[in-house]
Structure 1
């Protein structure tokens, strides 16, 4: 089998971490996501995935499950809605959660999209966009779907600085007021520990944006609806997790709170500028 060569920028290379996490999860006796495509992609990509190790691999799977929970809820309420993945990487959410009616846009930088297109083909409802999250040229393409809209940005905005994140949020709010936006935030404890994290020892990129309190982001014109940690997933999501996660992570959060509680997955509503 011919292997697929990877040519990615430093930050883009980090997309291979959650891919490997999902591949390991798929081989578990009781998987969390059961992403059958992930092991196939890992097998085909010419890359030393074995250098990734540590709890962040499993954490990336739990993170995706939490974001999945919000997307599933959105699609249950709006089966013909539009889901936009901001920084899709080699994620499979548009395939794993597709209901046969929704519109999906998987957006990422050109080098990532070039790799993504080796594994996924667009359809009448699933569209890949080669663009930066910082740009707005792609807004009209998404707006043509008519909404309602759900924007997901998983493990992406953390690599920007605060002003860049704010500009992304404000641009989305001005063009898609009332839409849902979900993204993760990392507190100071997590940011300061990156060099001790085994997965980050294997890559050059480092996260930049520190946010200790997602509620404070409401001053940007967001409305915080939910904020979750690995220890506090949505009840309907927690019920699907193996016991080692369902009971082990809350115990870890009590024993070493900063290790778990400073990283949060958040659900916001975008509000137009007053």
Structure 2
């Protein structure tokens, strides 16, 4: 996997400040795929990284492996949803260049990838729509996209991984309240970070290389309930689902538990959350 080349056939990156952050987890998954004991086995991510003209090598540190572990936790929840609802609908909010569809497709589900136009344009270079997969090239805050999703009849799970952190809390709350109104009883998967995480972004080896910064902070995931959803589970890298933990290499499986016991504030900076939208 080349980290920096510039041949004429490479694809240029033309993304906004927030959208550029998608390249960090993409590179994390690509590096994971190249490792001897891969967590996700995301070969597609390696192919994409090799096709893009970008200095991925500037991204270093724990954010790369952390993005992989985070995706495995979200994957676990989506797998659980699809096991119970094999013909259900998955909505990937801020899909970026995520390959979750490729990782989890059961050949029966309905899938929506949603992202802003510049990212959607890049998405089309690597992925294709189909009978069960639809790209929605629109901002999550332009809530007319919900009309298209509602046509499937559900049940629905909405996945927002590393998206809402970068937007003001009033905008995040408005979208979540709208989801509660339009899709009662659905699942919402969302990550959250507290103010200490925000304040440390300039020291983060990967995040300091991009411009976007956190705008929404959440000291306790139960704060999300103020917007309507009910918190069902909250996970950290030290407390993934047991079935997900078993897929992690020894270093992560035991190392994160040790960190969690010795330095609880460190692992509690950032959380992955599973919520239920209220029934009407």
Q: What residue in structure 2 maps to residue 143 of structure 1?
A: 150
In structure 2, C-alpha distance between the alignment counterparts of 1:216 and 1:128, rounded to whole Å: 31
Q: What residue in structure 2 maps to residue 201 of structure 1?
A: 208
In structure 1, C-alpha distance between the alignment counterparts of 2:223 and 2:182, rounded to whole Å: 22
Aligned residues: 273
Q: Secondary structure at the match of 1:247?
A: helix
* Cα offset, 1:10, TM superposition: 0.6
In structure 1, C-alpha distance between the alignment counterparts of 2:122 and 2:226, rounded to whole Å: 37
In structure 2, C-alpha distance between the alignment counterparts of 1:160 and 1:111, rounded to whole Å: 18
- The yes-or-no answer on 1:6 pairing with 2:17 is no
* Cα offset, 1:214, TM superposition: 0.7
| Offset from partner CA, 1:207-254 (integer Å, 9 cap, x none) | 111101111222221110000000000001001111101100111122
* Cα offset, 1:189, TM superposition: 1.5
In structure 2, C-alpha distance between the alignment counterparts of 1:216 and 1:203, rounded to whole Å: 28
After the TM superposition, which residues 98-109 of structure 1 pair with which residues of structure 2 at under 5 Å, given as runs?
A: 98-109=105-116
* Cα offset, 1:73, TM superposition: 0.1
Q: Out of 119, 122, 134, which is 2:126 matched to?
A: 119
Q: What residue in structure 2 maps to residue 50 of structure 1?
A: 57
After the TM superposition, which residues 220-231 of structure 1 pair with which residues of structure 2 at under 5 Å, given as runs?
A: 220-231=227-238
In structure 2, C-alpha distance between the alignment counterparts of 1:195 and 1:253, rounded to whole Å: 23
Answer yes or no: is the 8 Å Cα contact 1:84–1:149 preserved in 2.
yes
Q: Out of 162, 167, 176, which is 1:160 matched to?
A: 167
Q: What residue in structure 1 maps to residue 246 of structure 2?
A: 239
Q: 1:220 to 1:272 in 2, by over 3 A?
A: farther
Q: What residue in structure 1 maps to residue 3 of structure 2?
A: none
Answer yes or no: is the 8 Å Cα contact 1:53–1:199 preserved in 2.
yes
Q: What TM-score, normalized by structure 2, do the two folds share?
A: 0.96
Q: Out of 91, 96, 120, which is 2:98 matched to?
A: 91
Runs ≥4 in structure 1, deviation > 6 angstroms? none
| Offset from partner CA, 1:96-143 (integer Å, 9 cap, x none) | 100000000000000000000000010100111101111111111111
Q: What residue in structure 2 maps to residue 173 of structure 1?
A: 180
Structure 1: unaligned runs, 5 residues or longer: none
Answer yes or no: is the 8 Å Cα contact 1:86–1:106 preserved in 2.
yes
| Offset from partner CA, 1:141-191 (integer Å, 9 cap, x none) | 111111100000000000011111100100111000100001000012211
